[in-house]
Every structure is written in structure tokens, then in C-alpha cells.
Chain A
Amino acid sequence: MIRKPKVADVEAMARIINERADLGELLPRSRYYIYQNLRDFVVCERDGRIVGTGSGHILWSDLEEIRALAVAPPWQGQGIGTAIVQALLEEARNLSLPRVFVFTFKPDLFQQLGFYQVDKMTLPRKVWGECIRCPKFPDCDAVALVFDLEERC
């Protein structure tokens, strides 16, 4: 079940995200960040346990970034990440955001959903707000992908 989180879910969310972050798969997130941005997140619950999470962070009226997508190891490979991204895209659509992007090391998951790869430099400068705080900056090895929610004529 994919649902919006409650504050009681934050510990589990932080653990799942930061276990993946320790392996260099995504940026670590403090509990403070998760609390402050809780409304950005969705969680996947199985048998009463949080097994995955992801967030859509709005940067401007026309742009949202998918952040902190993580699934606990025993639950990987079951389409949970895909279901989380689909839920985030649905939310973005309801907010009438035209465009969602992601920096990722796992482009396949996103490409299967219709995201397409773009040159990082074509994204608005606004996206660098997070990047300059990244330990890897400026030697970023993530791939930038974009999803257009507005139908192209």
C-alpha cells in the first residue's frame, strides 16, 4: 500500500534512506529534513511495516524533483520503487506541475516509466541548490532524467 506518511513513520523512513545512502546510492537525509518536508513524501507499507519511501520536492511552479527514493533490501525487485514513483507522478499531476526530474544512478527504473535522459546542464540553475551541498560535487556521476506531465501535442 502506498500512502502519505505520518510523523511516526519518520524513523523507518530515515533508516531506509540512510542505509542506501551509506552505500552511495543516494544522498543522506537528516530526520530534520524528513520532518520538514514530510508532505513531499509517500511511503510503501507491507504487513504494517514501512518498506520503501520517496519524495517529490517542488522547486518552482513548473518543476519538481524526485528525491530520496529508497526501498529496503528484502523488498527490492518487486516493483515497489516503480509504484512509489507512479504515486509521486500522480501527485505532481494533481498539483498541475508540468515537469518532474530526477538525478539517479538507476535510470532504468525511470526510463521504463517514460522518463528520458537529458544533459544536466539543460536543467534550470535552481536544481543546483542541492548539488552544491553534495560531497561528490562537481564530479557528479548521476544521470538526469525528465518526465513531462503535460501532454505533448
Chain B
Amino acid sequence: MTAVIRPAMVDDGVAIYELVNYYAQQGLMLPKSQSAVYESIRDFLVAEQDGKVVGCGALQITWQELGEVRSLAISDGCRRRGIGRRIVERLLKEAGEIGLARVFALTHQRDFFLSLGFHSIEKKALPQKIWIDCINCVKFPNCDAEAVIINLEEE
């Protein structure tokens, strides 16, 4: 069965919360409270397969023309099937429709994003607004994620 990528509904909130925090516990992404998931549920896409949420990803608008891919997570049994790629491609399409010019991500999967057309960037080159999340991160200031960015207008 191919996974279907669709906008998240409120009923997906618990599945998204569990998926994100499964990887957050391994230090691979930022944890998200149940409340934060609901408050940003409109930012999320989910991948559904056999009636189950097997992946998620969100597009957070940062400021003016800049957006961020966040909370991208695919359940263990469903990785390496192109689901994450399809989620990011659709998030980028949404970003273009909203009028964003650039989308960045802070990730431990740099090569995955590079294969989607992102390029590496110095974290310091990103606007200060993004640090609002970073300063609340348990790892700050010893961040081991890498920054990648894509210019949508070039696409």
C-alpha cells in the first residue's frame, strides 16, 4: 500500500505527538507537547497508510519570506520508502503557494535534504528569529544539527 500524504486533522494529534517524541527521545529532533501539536496542527501534513499515521512533517512560517520544515518524522517500519521526500516536496509546494521565498531546516539528515535541492548554510546566516526555539532547546548552545536551505524562486 502506498502512503497517502494529506493535511493533518485534529484526530491525528496524538499520532503526531507520539511519532515526534519517539525521535525526540533519541535526541534526533525537538520534543513537542501535545498542546503545541494541536496549536500548530494546520502546519502539519501526515502520511497515512492502512488507516495509520506513519509519517508527519510541518511547515512553520518564520518571518516574511522564510519558512522552516519541522517535525519531519517517519515511523521506523516505513522509512526508506520515499515518504519523507513526498512530505517535504508537498510542504515546499505549500510554501510557494503561501508566498515564501526560502525554506530552511535544522536537521541530522543533511544528505536527505540536499537530495531534495536544499543546500548547506551556516546557522549564523539564518535570521535571529529562529533562535527563539533554539534557546529553549536542551542542547543549546551545543547544537549538533545542520542547517540547510532551499530557494523556492530558483526552483
List the A side residues contacting B100 at CB < 8 Å: 7
Whether A8 pairs with B42 at a CB distance below 8 angstroms is no
Whether A7 pairs with B65 at a CB distance below 8 angstroms is yes
Whether B38 pairs with A59 at a CB distance below 8 angstroms is yes
Whether B98 pairs with A6 at a CB distance below 8 angstroms is yes
With both chains docked as a complex, state the minimum distance between the C-beta of A37 and any C-beta of chain B, in angstroms.
8
B129 interfacial contact with A, CB 8 Å = yes
B26 interfacial contact with A, CB 8 Å = no
Knowing A58-B10, A96-B10, A96-B11 touch, does A35 contact B43 (C-beta < 8 A)?
Answer: no
Could you tell me which residues of chain A, from 63 to 100, have a CB within 8 Å of some CB in chain B?
95-97
List the A side residues contacting B35 at CB < 8 Å: 59-60, 126
List the B side residues contacting A95 at CB < 8 Å: 9-10, 41-42
Whether A36 pairs with B61 at a CB distance below 8 angstroms is yes
Cα distance A74–B14 in the bound complex, in angstroms: 44
With both chains docked as a complex, state the minimum distance between the C-beta of B136 and any C-beta of chain A, in angstroms.
14
With both chains docked as a complex, state the minimum distance between the C-beta of B53 and any C-beta of chain A, in angstroms.
14
| Interface residues on chain A, number (Cβ under 8 Å) | 21
Whether B10 pairs with A8 at a CB distance below 8 angstroms is no
B27 interfacial contact with A, CB 8 Å = no
Whether B13 pairs with A7 at a CB distance below 8 angstroms is no
Q: How many A-B residue pairs have CB under 8 A?
A: 53
B107 interfacial contact with A, CB 8 Å = no
Whether A58 pairs with B39 at a CB distance below 8 angstroms is yes
A61 interfacial contact with B, CB 8 Å = yes
**Of the residues A8, A32, A61, A126, contact of B129 by C-beta under 8 Å:** A32
Cα distance A106–B60 in the bound complex, in angstroms: 32
Q: Mark B6-43, 1 if CB is under 8 A from A, else 0.
A: 00011101100000000000000000000100110111
Cα distance A59–B33 in the bound complex, in angstroms: 12
Q: Mark B38-66, 1 if CB is under 8 A from A, else 0.
A: 11011100000000000000001111110
With both chains docked as a complex, state the minimum distance between the C-beta of B10 and any C-beta of chain A, in angstroms.
5
A136 interfacial contact with B, CB 8 Å = no
List the A side residues contacting B9 at CB < 8 Å: 95-96
With both chains docked as a complex, state the minimum distance between the C-beta of A105 and any C-beta of chain B, in angstroms.
24
Whether B63 pairs with A61 at a CB distance below 8 angstroms is no
Whether B41 pairs with A58 at a CB distance below 8 angstroms is yes
List the B side residues contacting A59 at CB < 8 Å: 35, 38-39
Whether A7 pairs with B39 at a CB distance below 8 angstroms is no
Cα distance A10–B38 in the bound complex, in angstroms: 23
A-B contact pairs, 13 of them (CB 8 A): A6-B97, A7-B61, A7-B64, A10-B64, A35-B61, A35-B63, A36-B60, A40-B42, A58-B39, A59-B39, A60-B38, A61-B11, A95-B10
Q: Please give the residue numbers on chain B whose beta carbons come within 8 Å of chain A beta carbons, in ascending order.
A: 9-11, 13-14, 35, 38-39, 41-43, 60-65, 97-100, 129
